[in-house]
Structure 1
Amino acid sequence: MQALTRPYGALHCRVDGPSDAPAVIFANSLGTDLRLWDPVLPLLPHTLRYIRYDKQGHGLSTLGGGTDISDHADDAIALIESLADKPVFFVGLSIGGLIAQTVASRRPDLVRAVVLSNTAARLGTVESWQARIEAVVGHGLEHIADAVMERWFAPAFRAKPELALWRNMLTRTPAAGYIAACRALSKADQSAATAALRLPALAIAGDTDGASPAELVEATAALIPGATFHIVPGTGHLPCVENPTAYAAILSPFLKAHAHD
């Protein structure tokens, strides 16, 4: 285990791959930790360096503020500056994709390309996130877990025994960290900033995603000139979990194509 010291405490991270290779940083979705990428990582090019981390208030990371997307962008920027000596690929899923957009907008010198997976420039509404917060405050994460699994995964995956592991990951997320991230999502709108981005971009969606429908992901991709868009069939909000082979088949060529730009 590895930690980056932040003003509020520890940011848990893990680094795999050659120390002198171009770096890829991954930012996870709400209610997950860096293990989200375990299924797909072995299928990606071995010539790159992979940096994963638990956003604050999730996994083994301390909760600081976390109620604004800029809080999470600050963490990612600090991680890049600490662990990478060149601009990175930024792969973000769901709230991780909003973090990726924010970092690329604020610090274009740190990001060579972005991968926006199951995300958008704006996710949900103030009202929908407030309802989620109230449900967790009143009844805990267990209360919303089954509904979240339906948004995260297609029916075929929900019939598998390993669904219980992902449900456990969600329900064992600290409620305060989850609520803080919901507050950040309720305010985050990167529409104008993302439309100003000029860098290689790849967008990935699942065709049964109940959290960020494919058409929403595609609309965000359309904001960035030259961005490409792919759908992983038969998957929901976490296609890197449901079909890591198909996900890697989309992601790997993009990483290879821009590794030495």
Structure 2
Amino acid sequence: MLTATVNNVNLHYALSGPKDGPAVVFANSLGTDLRLWDELLALLPAGLRVLRYDKRGHGLSEETPGPCSIELLADDAAALIEHLGLGPAVFVGLSIGGLIGQALALRRPELLAGLVISNSAAKLGDAASWQDRIDRVQQGGLPAIAEATMERWFSPDFRAGGSDRLWARMLARQPAGGYGALCRALAAADLRGAVPALRLPVQVIAGAHDGAAPPEIVRATAGLIPGARFALIEDAAHIPCVETPAEYAAIITRFLEEIGHVR
């Protein structure tokens, strides 16, 4: 296992591919760890230098005291990219990872060659809904929200076969304190006024059945960013890298090719 202490937090990460390969960084969703991307890796172009990491308070990364913000999470990502000497990288962020990517692109554009905003938007939810989520976790732990979360994360067809059970267990095993801290960060995050200033290549991806980031708000964010591409995956919900990995990988690969980030 690999860890690095950057930006005053110890982060767990995985790094694969040739040392001189073009870098792609993956930031996963709230309530998951870096294993979310496992099935996707073999479907990406050969020769990439791939970084996956657990956000603070998730997976095997350190849970830190005090308030958290999207800007702090973006600074974590920036520090890890710099520590590993990976920039300029393409950053692929899913859900809260997409907000982290937007904040990173605004704060440290020199570190990025491109940005994929997946199943995310410049603003996700509202303060009341996030506080309700926090209250439920405080009362019953993460298992108390597992069923409702699976309904948002995956399409009915995917769930019908019980394929969501593994992911429900992953959610339930995340640190409750870290989950709550990131919920508070999401409640406060609103980048709608800032993202029109982005000037890097951007690919936006939505899932037609997404109950956490409905496609209309994902598309609206794409409309705020000059030149952003938009793709809708008809058979996926919130976690297309799990539900439809081949189609998801094809969209990312096409984007990498269009911006010249693959050899």
TM-score when normalising by structure 1: 0.97
Amino acid at match of 1:18: P
* 2:11 pairs with 1:4: no
Contact 2:90 2:113 in 1 (8 A): yes
Stretches of structure 2 lacking an aligned partner (at least 5 in a row): none
Amino acid at match of 2:23: A
Deviations 1:184-204 (A, max 9, x none): 000001112211101110000
Give the Cα–Cα distance (whole angstroms) in 2 for the partners of residues 212 and 240 of structure 1. 15
Corresponding residue number in structure 1 for 2:15? 15
Contact 1:12 1:60 in 2 (8 A): yes
Corresponding residue number in structure 2 for 1:78? 79
Q: How does 1:1-261 map to 2 (within 5 A)?
A: 1-6=1-6, 8-64=8-64, 65=66, 67-260=68-261
Q: How far 1:161 sits from its partner (Å)? A: 3.5
Give the Cα–Cα distance (whole angstroms) in 1 for the partners of residues 220 and 81 of structure 2. 28
Give the Cα–Cα distance (whole angstroms) in 2 for the partners of residues 103 and 7 of structure 1. 14
Q: How far 1:8 sits from its partner (Å)? A: 4.3
Contact 1:66 1:72 in 2 (8 A): no
Residues paired across the two proteins, number: 261
Q: How far 1:84 sits from its partner (Å)? A: 2.9
Q: How far 1:54 sits from its partner (Å)? A: 0.3
Q: How far 1:71 sits from its partner (Å)? A: 1.7
Distance 1:257 1:136, change over 3 A: same
Q: How far 1:86 sits from its partner (Å)? A: 3.1
Alignment partner of 1:255: what SS? helix
Give the Cα–Cα distance (whole angstroms) in 2 for the partners of residues 171 and 150 of structure 1. 15
Contact 2:14 2:53 in 1 (8 A): yes
Give the Cα–Cα distance (whole angstroms) in 2 for the partners of residues 103 and 184 of structure 1. 15
Contact 1:56 1:66 in 2 (8 A): no
Give the Cα–Cα distance (whole angstroms) in 1 for the partners of residues 261 and 221 of structure 2. 26
Q: How far 1:85 sits from its partner (Å)? A: 4.2
Give the Cα–Cα distance (whole angstroms) in 1 for the partners of residues 84 and 207 of structure 2. 31
Does 160-169 or 129-138 show the bigger shift?
A: 160-169
Contact 1:157 1:163 in 2 (8 A): yes
RMSD: 1.3
Give the Cα–Cα distance (whole angstroms) in 1 for the partners of residues 261 and 244 of structure 2. 28
TM-score when normalising by structure 2: 0.96
Give the Cα–Cα distance (whole angstroms) in 1 for the partners of residues 261 and 141 of structure 2. 46
Give the Cα–Cα distance (whole angstroms) in 1 for the partners of residues 152 and 75 of structure 2. 28
Deviations 1:149-185 (A, max 9, x none): 0000001111223321100000001100100000000
Amino acid at match of 2:162: P
Give the Cα–Cα distance (whole angstroms) in 2 for the partners of residues 37 and 160 of structure 1. 21
Distance 1:29 1:85, change over 3 A: closer
Amino acid at match of 1:127: A
Amino acid at match of 1:67: C
Q: How far 1:139 sits from its partner (Å)? A: 1.4
Give the Cα–Cα distance (whole angstroms) in 2 for the partners of residues 249 and 260 of structure 1. 14
Alignment partner of 1:192: what SS? coil
Amino acid at match of 2:47: T
Stretches of structure 1 lacking an aligned partner (at least 5 in a row): none
Alignment partner of 2:42: what SS? helix
Distance 1:8 1:160, change over 3 A: farther
Does 70-79 or 156-165 show the bigger shift?
A: 156-165
